Amino acid sequence: MPDLLIILLAGLFLPLFPLSMVFNALLDRIQHPWLRSVLFIAWPFNGLFILLYSQVNLPDWLLALALSTSALYAFRMLSLREVNQWNQFLATSLWSLLWLPVMQDTPPALLYGYAIGMSVPLVLLAFLSAGLVRRFGAAYTGLTTGLARTIPRYSGLLVTVVVAAIATPLFPSFFIMLHLVVDSLSVMPLVAMALLLIWLLWSWAGAQLIQGLIVGRASDIKIADMGNTTITLYSMVLIALVVGGIILGGVIL
């Protein structure tokens, strides 16, 4: 298979603009949390598998395209109000950065570790978003406000998952981003600067999402909060993510 075709195929799974629009169009049509979760895990794996299996030579311009895609989606996240859409844009922004470690010849096991570390918070957010839709009919910021007062446990978890997704310490994405910055700074300072800018945009978008959902007066209608078992399950995954993040950080830094 010609190299360009392989790159195009990989660009579909490790989204590169404009191929990233295919992934987003697909996710727009899939609303079921389980299906979305499978996609969130499997999609970047496919891209990594294609690139690692084909051993294709990657041209330098791909790096610029990958960074531009990540920055574009991070910037577009600032004006999103729908949680599912926010989640898939973040996925696009995160996974397009996987081109960097691929081009830096990172060992395959680590690459898959990166993909998992980036995707697990997205899976959790997909389920939480579905929970919001079940409770309120939609998961829009600004429309469903005051969650911290209406369903405090649910919103606490939502906030933690968003914080995990936007590469906050001690979650895996933080260590991945730090590693990417350290690795690229000596050879490509502009790439490191771009990475830091994208990271900043995620924080901005994350704060916008949190504020649009949890802040405000409590709803007059009684809404069921999250049960103990579900809370425990989510918490265990989050703790596993933190532990995984620390271990990953120890390995790569």
Partner 1 sequence: MEQLIIVVAALPLISALLIQLFAGRIGRSIARLSVAATTLSFFISLLLLWWALTGHEPQALPVGNTSAIMLFDPLSTLLAMIILGISLIVHIYSVRYMAEEAGYGRFFVLLDLMTAALLFMVIAGDLITLVIAWYLVGVLLYFLLGQDTRSQTAYRFAFWTLITYRIGDIPLILAAALLYNAYDTWSLTSIFNEIMANPGAHQVLGLPLPEVVAALIGLAAFARSAQFLLHNWLPYTMDGPTPVSALMHAGIVNAGGFLINRFAPVFVHSGDVLHIIFFVGLITAIFGSLLMLTQNDIKKALGYSTMGQMGFMIMECGIGAFSLAIYHMFAHGVFKGTLFLSAGGVIHHSRKDDGIPKDELYTFAVEKAPNKVHQPWLLMAAITLAVPLIILVLAHLLIAQDYFQKQGAIVLLFFGWVTGAQLIFATYRMRTQNIWRLVGLSVLSLVIVVLGYVVISHAFDLFLYPDPAFRVQLYSAATIDLLRFDVLVGVITLVVVSGWVLTYYAEQKGLRRRQQTKRLWLNFYALISREFYIIDIYTRLTRTLLGFSGRLNVWLRWL
User: How far is the C-alpha of 48 from the C-alpha of 186, rounded, in Å?
Assistant: 25
DSSP state of 235: H
Q: Which stretch binds partner 1 (CB under 8 A): 47-55, 62-70, 121-129, 168-176?
A: 168-176
User: How far is the C-alpha of 66 from the C-alpha of 75, rounded, in Å?
Assistant: 14
Check residue 156 for interaction with partner 1 (CB under 8 A). yes
Nearby residues of 126 by Cβ (< 8 Å), 6 or more positions away: 33, 36, 37, 40, 84, 87
Chain center to CA of 7? 22
Q: How far is the CB of 96 from partner 1 (least distance, A)?
A: 15
CA atoms within 13 A on the CB side of 54: 20
Of 3 and 28, nearer to partner 1 (C-beta) is: 28
Of 75 and 127, nearer to partner 1 (C-beta) is: 75
Q: Which two tokens stand for residue 203?
A: 């924080």
Chosen residue from 57, 61, 217, 221 binding partner 1 by CB under 8 A: 217
Q: Which stretch binds partner 1 (CB under 8 A): 2-10, 63-71, 115-123, 149-157?
A: 149-157
Q: Which stretch binds partner 1 (CB under 8 A): 38-46, 57-65, 107-115, 210-218?
A: 210-218
- CA separation, residue 83 to residues 58, 123, 182 (Å): 34, 12, 32
Q: Which stretch binds partner 1 (CB under 8 A): 34-42, 101-109, 116-124, 145-153?
A: 145-153
Alpha-helix residue ranges (DSSP H) falling in the chain: 3-13, 20-29, 33-54, 61-77, 83-95, 99-103, 108-136, 147-150, 152-165, 172-185, 189-214, 228-252
Chosen residue from 30, 103, 178, 233 binding partner 1 by CB under 8 A: 178
Chosen residue from 30, 76, 112, 233 binding partner 1 by CB under 8 A: 76
Check residue 226 for interaction with partner 1 (CB under 8 A). no
List contacts with partner 1 (CB under 8 A). 20-21, 24-25, 28, 72, 75-80, 85, 146, 148-149, 152, 156, 159, 163, 168-170, 174, 178, 181-182, 185-186, 189, 192, 196, 200, 203-204, 207, 211, 214-218, 249-250, 253
